Amino acid sequence: MKKVITYGTFDLLHQGHINLLRRAKALGDYLIVGVTTEEFDLARGKTNIHDSIQTRIEAVKATGYADEIIVEDYVGQKIDDIVRLGVDIFAIGSDWKGKFDYLKKYCSVVYLPRTKGISSTMLREAVKDGKNLIR
């Protein structure tokens, strides 16, 4: 069985996230999705998270693509998870190209195409501006 893992905040789950999960799932037989905690994201400088971790986990689960969902909450966890879970492929959006090449020591690394025209940042701005965009 080929295991794939991906990580993300998955805030304001949108079509770009769904496309990423679908593409990651297509790479193997079993998809593990790591959802980052608010605290971990804050430590990395991401200060504008809208949805709670429970909401984000439930949204990822509702897509039907994740076979397993884990919580990411510390630096270095990706390596620990890949080794512990026997992961074959690490998949992430192409906007991170090169950033995770260090994981090639543990598994294959695949940078998946980003969906044009949609992002969590764009949705946050729309919410802030009072616009009603459908996710």
- Taking only the tens place, the pLDDT of each residue in 85-129 is 999 999 999 999 999 999 999 999 999 998 765 555 555 555 555
Q: pTM of the predicted model, to two decimals?
A: 0.86
Q: How far apart are CA 39 and CA 22, in angstroms?
A: 27
The domain spanning residue 68 has which CATH number? 3.40.50.620
Structure tokens at 14: 């949108």
Phi, psi at residue 115, to the nearest 5°? -80, 120
Q: Is residue 133 included in any domain, yes or no?
A: no
Do residues 2 and 28 touch, judged by C-beta distance below 8 A? yes
Q: Is residue 119 included in any domain, yes or no?
A: yes
Structural domain range at position 42: 3-128
- Taking only the tens place, the pLDDT of each residue in 33-43 is 999 999 988 88
